[in-house]
Structure 1
Amino acid sequence: MLEELRTLVLFAEEGSIQNVARRLPLTQPAVTRQMQRLEELLATTLLDRRQKPPRLTAAGLEVLARARDILASVEALKAFAADAEPQGVLRVGMAHGLSDASVAGAVAGAAAAFPKMSLRLKTGWSAELIEQFERGQLDMAIVLRPADHRGSDALGTERLGIIAQAGAHLTGGRTPMPWVLSPEPCDARQTLLSSLGGERHTLVVAAEIQDPAMQLEWVRRGHGLGLMPLRLAARGLPDGLALVDLEGVDLSLQVVALRSPHLNRLAKVVEAIAKTVGEAIEIKA
């Protein structure tokens, strides 16, 4: 109907079907059909065809005023949608394993560049966040996937290291000590189990602790082996901790950004967050 309303407004401005046809440009019969179609849609007569050239009826003048309001609203809506500065609420989910100060700083820095945007950031296990994203409860989800994940949504690789009490005497077997790990369904824990042989291997868990700082303290006190992103270990391990090399154990995960197809202007914010998170997880030499 918008095209028909625009034709009506042009008719009021030009005063004749011929002039409207020249301005669009359309043929005169095509313009006539648009006017007739609008009359059919509104079930009213808009033109008094007894006059030469036709003139708007009283109903036509009323529809003309409303048509101008509608077209002005449509143009305002287009301008709103095309606004260069993103605004609104952006709901982001972040995997627990990525919720450290480095990544948090990267997200905060990216979000600060868009002052009209309000961020709603929550953390969770990847499986939970993926489910919430698929239900439309999140606009973006930054999650951890297996190392063999391939796709344009990958931001980079999160490599994990095994840590132990400094100076601990590790003897016997492939994993001579129990583990201090996050509760299931921890992404790092699943990767560890898979690397050690999956269902054929049973992890001896000394403690299940979700808080990373408390995990490190438990490991420092010698209660078991723990996991830590190598990008954080590269900046210096806390006193009393050391990296352990278990031959053949690859603890790599892909960091993946899931994006809603309905972001509109907020797509700029999502791209900025994805870029800075990708940079944050790189291990600097």
Structure 2
Amino acid sequence: MSQRLPLTQPAVTRQIQRLEEMLGTELLDRRLKPSRLTPAGVEVLARGKDILAAVDALKSFTKGNEPEGLLRLGLAHGLCDKAVAGAIAGAVARFPKVSLRLKSGWSVELADQHRRGQLDLGFILDGGTSKSGGGVVGTEPLGIIASETIGQQGGIKTMPWVLSPEPCDARQRLVAALAESGRRLTVGAEIQDSALQIEWVRRGHGLGLFPKRLLQGELPEGVALVDAGLDLSLRIVVLRSPHLHLLSKVADAVIEAVTAIVGTD
């Protein structure tokens, strides 16, 4: 840390100690080597970044109203496709002084990072039980896919599933939907990569989940959509920081562009 600041290591240590005394809490866990932030330290860091962003916004107020700075955006794994990526890229490109830091992850992880102030904007998936506090901008209906041969034969209700590992958003919705119909989840394979999932399904090793939005064109070879009598829809929820200042214009543009892709019911 001292290498990034015009201070010696002892001076940095004293500054941190003074801040801890002022706040009345420990910011570093010094039992670990190297020291790491405590939960309070993570929160203070996030709030400190918000303060710095506010100062930058105040400075830019005297320079004009053109947005500038860093937009930290989180995107749920299930929304990481070409159409959504293109919409985000096109929206941000309208603001040449703004740079984008895009992170993908599971919704529960992104929601936690948003609460900690580590993300300015986020698009997550919610099966209806989340208390994220964001606004719904669309829905993502999930389709069930199976090998063409198995789909023609029927009897899919007893088949295992090929799914992403926990805490996959689609998997959590599937568990809830199965429970509602008195069934339990049987996992045949856990595979992170969607292309590999489809290949396992095509070979007849189980059923898979895939966004219907991405299946509107031609289905992958050897794979068919099947009906298991389950309601598998996820809400698309947007989370945004209340401290965006001039970056609000960029956030509005991104939300508008993504909403045009994912649509609403």
What is the TM-score normalised by the length of structure 2? 0.72
Aligned residues: 207
Deviation at 1:241, TM superposition (A): 1.1
Matched, 1:104 2:85: yes
What residue in structure 2 maps to residue 251 of structure 1?
232
What residue in structure 2 maps to residue 126 of structure 1?
107
Describe the shift of the 1:139–1:199 C-alpha distance in structure 2 as closer, same or farther (beyond 3 A): farther
Deviation at 1:203, TM superposition (A): 1.4
1:232 to 203, 214, 219: 214
Deviation at 1:240, TM superposition (A): 1.2
Q: Secondary structure at the match of 1:197?
A: helix
Q: Secondary structure at the match of 1:193?
A: helix
Matched, 1:161 2:171: no
Matched, 1:175 2:157: yes
Deviations 1:28-84 (A, max 9, x none): xxxxxxxxxxxxxxxxxxxxxxxxxxxxxxxxxxxxxxxxxxxxxxxxx86722633
Question: Take 1:145 and 1:283, find their aligned partners in 2: how far apart are those partners?
Answer: 14
Matched, 1:206 2:206: no
What is the TM-score normalised by the length of structure 1? 0.67
Question: Take 2:59 and 2:116, find their aligned partners in 1: how far apart are those partners?
Answer: 30
What residue in structure 1 maps to residue 178 of structure 2?
196
Would you say the 8 A contact 2:67–2:249 is kept in 1? yes
Matched, 1:140 2:121: yes
Deviation at 1:282, TM superposition (A): 3.2
Matched, 1:80 2:60: yes
Describe the shift of the 1:152–1:132 C-alpha distance in structure 2 as closer, same or farther (beyond 3 A): closer
What residue in structure 2 maps to residue 218 of structure 1?
200
Deviation at 1:189, TM superposition (A): 0.5
Would you say the 8 A contact 2:87–2:258 is kept in 1? yes
What residue in structure 1 maps to residue 36 of structure 2?
none
> Which one-letter code corresponds to 1:121 in the other structure?
L
What residue in structure 2 maps to residue 12 of structure 1?
none
What residue in structure 2 maps to residue 4 of structure 1?
none
What residue in structure 2 maps to residue 274 of structure 1?
255
Aligned-residue Cα RMSD (Å) equals 2.5
Question: Take 2:125 and 2:232, find their aligned partners in 1: how far apart are those partners?
Answer: 12
Question: Take 1:205 and 1:138, find their aligned partners in 2: how far apart are those partners?
Answer: 33
> Which one-letter code corresponds to 1:191 in the other structure?
R
Deviation beyond 3 Å, 4+ runs, structure 1: 147-152, 169-172, 198-201
> Which one-letter code corresponds to 2:60 in the other structure?
F
Would you say the 8 A contact 1:149–1:254 is kept in 2? no
Report 1 or 2 for greater relative contact order, CA contacts < 8 Å, sequence distance ≥ 6.
2
> Which one-letter code corresponds to 1:256 in the other structure?
V
Would you say the 8 A contact 2:137–2:263 is kept in 1? no
